[in-house]
Structure 1
């Protein structure tokens, strides 16, 4: 290979159609090049980059099939812009891993937690004057590291989080771990566990080498955000139906109107509005709505099939049919037309940052992630002038709406994929009002309208 790269015009489908068979190159950065291999039937994208850890040779990886028909987004094929984005991701991922390996064995969440447990055990032993194991160690082994059979307790597999390298840790890794914690954990136990893991990860940061810190300088903020980020689909047991979270139908309409406006202003192209409309109509948890498929919108029946929650011991118990109005069907219709039934219903555009710049470009569409509703929701509630409203208020309001409309408690619980016990615990006040209204409707006059008094007779 010559020192000067001979670049070819491969940025458009039309330009590529004029090229001869073989490989053509375009520079991605100073030491990485996007390749286009033209064949008799189709073209292929691949990327090569200089491997400084192997005598400055080049490494190479496939990127994907080229869209040689036009320059529009096409499923299964990549335009030039999409290929560049994916090529940069591949190269950056390799460079990060290579730098981590050069700096020594990459520390993981597991190694950080194990070190923290040893330090906690030593501290608690000093305080007790004898060898003891800390409570933190018991919690972290059970819910992070995994453990074998212990007495009557069965073996517990390690959480996926345990294997994540610290330099690659992201906020989503922590949020997913939190979401997968057992629902039967008491709120206080869960918070202690979260505090233990947070302390263990924070303690690992000062011990990392200077080279490893360069790999992920945002590590401290990732730990902070991962454990403090607002949970938009938190457990029923923790979310209490406060009075200011029970919205009237008019207030829900204001939120939907605001969602439609924010959707347009922030370039969501209807993705945000459709999601919020579904949450308002069904009272589904965010985690349930983001698992819905196109086939779950049953247009003719005016019905949505809402997937069961993963919460509770029973796991996902299938889908619950939820009747909705013509207005909701019209809103969702744009998201189901000409799409396969098995496709994820609620998607949005993802964005990738260009390497070494502040420029963000659209990458690809995919399902909503756990914390992605948080930021646009702030704009929605400000626009609707409901500053205290949280996304979970739509669920609270849907449950109370069912109770006020005199639906049986069992039916309300079934529709909202929860238990009668939870309904009775958090919505007792509204149940009492609904039952009183039912009882009042059954009241009938008992005292005669005209009472004739018999004074006596002679």
Structure 2
């Protein structure tokens, strides 16, 4: 027998439970009633199916305490049907954003790396609880001072202590940009030169980005690979062959490499947008060997203990091999990426193509690598003239 919530006696006889008692009003539209766990009025809930999102949307309707018991069903039914009409039309309003933390949480759904930055620098900070309607320039100035004073973590030592360094202006700019983007989505800019001008407190620091000046030529990279330990060699060799971030390589699974087409899907990277590239034959051979007799969901590159690579695990072996190979001080895993990008541009590949492969922009390549590319090109021309 179907439930009839319009009857007061039938509603009053319903047992208390977490899941509401539902009555179907029409396809995709339901009204629910949850009896009070204590003495008091129960609450009404609307449920409507969204074709766009392929799931049900819920809305709490309240207890309608100002209406007589016999009329509460009719009032709740009317609101539930209005809610369903909005959902079916695709016009349901999102939950209102009230605080800085809520603005960041909504924006963070666009990318996982963004969410990690908010976790480190916003959610645990006093600014997280500030209501957007009361956000002023001094709130953001104070947050920026705290951010600039916070040391940047480099690596963790064997004894558990974290190695840090002063936060660079470039790092501050990257963290500021995320918060500024989140607030721009929900807040209009305030009147300039007033406390309401929140946007003026988090403008980028000028000339903060440093150009990439360290380049390892092919001979130096071969020397590095000759000194690297056998456990790290496949991972580091991949960094020498492809212009990828170390973290993106570490996040690759066996299923991301297609042996038939030599295509590699990079799913987790800085932009958060998956991309697919064709890898050269030597890299394809390396990845085929790494994926042999392995499950699709396993990491493509594993350490000797069966765990994926992390920043803390690849930094030491590369630094040790770099010292043995006599490489310049400061050579890191990222130096391999910078060197490969430089080689591709010097080799004649267009900036746009290099940008797409390496998950950056042509503007960033010109800004960060312009001087380095010119220097390497000048050395190549000098050798040709001998």
TM-score w.r.t. the length of structure 1 is 0.40
